[in-house]
Amino acid sequence: DAGVTQTPRHEVAEKGQTIILKCEPVSGHNDLFWYRQTKIQGLELLSYFRSKSLMEDGGAFKDRFKAEMLNSSFSTLKIQPTEPKDSAVYLCASSFRQSAETLYFGSGTRLTVL
């Protein structure tokens, strides 16, 4: 029974590059979240999808961050252009029903922007 799968595990980018992070939610889950985790800010919500529809577009992250959910089993987070301050761990999580179910997290992608 596969959990949330995130790839790659690690990504190193030069400032100004475009990077795409990938996430496969737990099969059958219809809610998907993207978070950014830093030591200073903790866990920050970037995007939230319900049944592939974007419900939360990240507020302050809108300009360079774009999350998409092409189908119910795959989502991407694009950062364009990357900046050194984007260095963080990016986490994807899914749940079956947002109001009543456990969140399952992937192992995350550690992004380093030079």
Partner 1 sequence: GDQVEQSPSALSLHEGTGSALRCNFTTTMRAVQWFRKNSRGSLINLFYLASGTKENGRLKSAFDSKERYSTLHIRDAQLEDSGTYFCAARTGGYKVVFGSGTRLLVSP
Nearest-angstrom CA–CA distance, 107 and 10: 11
31, 61, 66, 111: which one binds partner 1 (CB under 8 A): 31
34, 48, 61, 65: which one binds partner 1 (CB under 8 A): 48
Q: Which stretch binds partner 1 (CB under 8 A): 19-27, 59-67, 69-77, 93-101?
A: 93-101
Q: Which amino acid is at 41?
A: Q
- Spatial neighbors of 79 by CB under 8 A, at least 6 apart, are 18, 19, 21, 64, 65, 86, 111
Handedness of CA 18, 24, 30, 34 (dihedral sign): negative
98 is an interface residue for partner 1 by CB under 8 A: yes
2 is an interface residue for partner 1 by CB under 8 A: no
Nearest-angstrom CA–CA distance, 18 and 52: 23
- Closest to partner 1 by CB, 20 or 89: 89
Q: Are 45 and 98 in contact (CB under 8 A)?
A: no
Q: Which stretch binds partner 1 (CB under 8 A): 18-26, 49-57, 60-68, 76-84?
A: 49-57
Residues contributing to the site for partner 1 (CB under 8 A):
31, 33, 42-43, 45, 48, 50, 55-56, 89, 91, 98-108, 110
